[in-house]
């Protein structure tokens, strides 16, 4: 017989992190309510990558999440399931007069040819999903009574009734009282700003921006051939890079084309641009990349921000905890931001499931912070470095050095023993 906990949790944010955490807490019999500012569950953007560590985290939370992931995951060819990306040079400025890539004369490689492959270090399931489709799968697992929509958080205060509860204040003038609040409200998190203050709370521009777009797979195959269009590709260049990956069960090729600038002054992080501006950023690149950019149907620029380091992920009086992008928003250059959010959910939901009273919540948040903060903060730092690596800013344009750096870069993310991390968290919680 299951008994409900003598406390209740408010989750702020109904994206992938908030929905995943809610599922984990419900499985642990923790009463939970989701507060989402939009009129329905919502995700922005298209492609979302999940590496093997992400899927192992899903398994720790609920087999139902794994089944939902399988229904919408898109992998490359069967023969390339272990490939994270095939790395190519896309920028023509890296070639000699004969069109051969400098440093690869012996191999006779030209712009667009495969230079090396980065492979997963184990054979666990991995792949890309469409954000909205994956969120739809998660929402199926959440009872209709759990979410409250149209609730934009403006403040959190401590209750005046002596309970030490948190009181959430919303823009529509309503309030809600809960034992603790978990902020899953993303990179522009209000919860983070309330907990850490405006300086540490706000994200900073990373020096990179991205054009994101979709190309129907039929069109992509005609342009690039089946192998390139239907598998994961990464094109290197000077102060820019481009990646393509299949999503929507292979019906669509997702494209993210990155470029650089020193500052971002527009108050909006997503702005519409012209095809001329997009093409001008890649004017010196080879025909493969320029044809991809030309075929992108959307004309949006996404400024890429990340969070400054957070000194702690939780606070008391009242109890507030940060999870996912609200805690450690990162650039996407190692394809692991969403995966870290799922890992957070696996650890925190189990810890809260073990809590037996209100006092245990502080212990759970402390254990979560101690286990998760070093790993997730490391991702923010190394992801920014990875963007520089792909854009000839970290190892220069030395392809051998780039390959060496790349081959040792991802294993700490992919090969994490999450059960061991969970055991360590429980040891801190109980100790």
User: What is the set of active-site residues?
Assistant: 212
Residues 253 and 264: beta-carbon distance below 8 Å: no
Residues 303 and 205: beta-carbon distance below 8 Å: yes
**Calpha distance 241→235 (Å, rounded):** 6
Residues 426 and 354: beta-carbon distance below 8 Å: yes
The tokens for 343 are: 């890992």
The tokens for 98 are: 């004969």
- Interhelix angle for 358-390 vs 418-430, to 10°? 140
Q: Which of 184, 188, 217 is nearest to 201 (CA)?
A: 188
Each residue of 221-232: b (16+ CB within 10 Å) or e?
A: bebbeeebbbbb
- Residue 27's contacts (CB-CB under 8 Å, 6 or more residues apart) are 61, 62, 349, 353
Q: Which H or E run includes 62?
A: none
Strands lying side by side in the sheet with 153-158? 153-158, 166-170, 175-178
Q: Which H or E run includes 234?
A: strand 233-237
3-state secondary structure of 285: strand
**Roughly how many angstroms between the first and final C-alpha of the chain, as a whole number?**
28
**Calpha distance 217→253 (Å, rounded):** 5
- Between the alpha carbon of residue 279 and those of residues 149, 258, 274, 286, 299, the distances in Å are 40, 12, 9, 12, 11
**Calpha distance 308→321 (Å, rounded):** 17
């Amino acid at each position: 017989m299951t008994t409900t906990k003598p406390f209740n949790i408010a989750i702020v944010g109904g994206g992938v992190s908030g929905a995943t955490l809610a599922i984990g807490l419900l499985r642990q019999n923790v009463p939970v309510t989701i507060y989402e500012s939009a009129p329905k569950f919502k995700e922005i953007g298209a492609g979302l990558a999940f590496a093997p560590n992400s899927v192992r985290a899903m398994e720790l939370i609920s087999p139902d999440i794994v089944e939902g992931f399988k229904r919408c995951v898109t992998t490359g060819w069967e023969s390339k399931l272990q490939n994270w990306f095939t790395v190519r040079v896309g920028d023509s400025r890296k070639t000699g007069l004969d069109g051969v890539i400098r440093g690869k004369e012996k191999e006779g490689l030209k712009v667009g040819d495969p230079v090396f492959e980065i492979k997963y270090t184990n054979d666990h399931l991995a792949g890309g999903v469409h954000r909205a489709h994956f969120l739809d799968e998660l929402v199926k697992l959440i009872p209709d009574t759990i979410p409250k929509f149209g609730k934009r958080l403006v403040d959190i205060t401590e209750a005046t009734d002596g309970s030490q509860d948190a009181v959430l204040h919303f823009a529509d003038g309503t309030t809600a009282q809960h034992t603790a609040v978990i902020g899953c409200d993303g990179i522009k998190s209000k919860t983070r700003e309330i907990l850490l203050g405006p300086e540490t709370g706000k994200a900073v521009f990373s020096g990179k921006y991205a054009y994101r777009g979709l190309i129907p797979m039929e069109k992509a195959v005609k342009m690039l051939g089946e192998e390139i269009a239907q598998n994961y590709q990464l094109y290197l260049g000077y102060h820019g890079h481009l990646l393509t990956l299949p999503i929507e069960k292979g019906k669509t090729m997702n494209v993210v084309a990155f470029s650089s600038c020193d500052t971002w002054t527009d108050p909006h992080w997503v702005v519409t641009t012209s095809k001329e501006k997009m093409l001008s950023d890649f004017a010196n690149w080879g025909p493969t990349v320029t044809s991809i950019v030309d075929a992108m149907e959307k004309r949006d620029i996404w400024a890429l921000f990340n969070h400054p380091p957070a000194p702690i992920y939780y606070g008391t009086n009242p109890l507030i905890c940060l999870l996912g992008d609200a805690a450690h928003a990162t650039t996407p250059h190692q394809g692991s931001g969403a995966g870290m959010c799922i890992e957070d959910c696996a650890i925190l939901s189990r810890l809260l499931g073990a809590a037996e009273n209100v006092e245990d919540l502080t212990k759970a948040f402390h254990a979560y912070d101690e286990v998760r903060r070093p790993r997730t903060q490391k991702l923010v730092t190394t992801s920014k470095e990875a963007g520089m690596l792909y854009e000839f800013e970290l190892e220069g344009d030395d392809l051998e050095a780039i390959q060496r750096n790349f081959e040792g870069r991802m294993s700490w993310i992919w090969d994490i023993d999450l059960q061991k991390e969970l055991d360590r968290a429980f040891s801190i919680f109980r100790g």
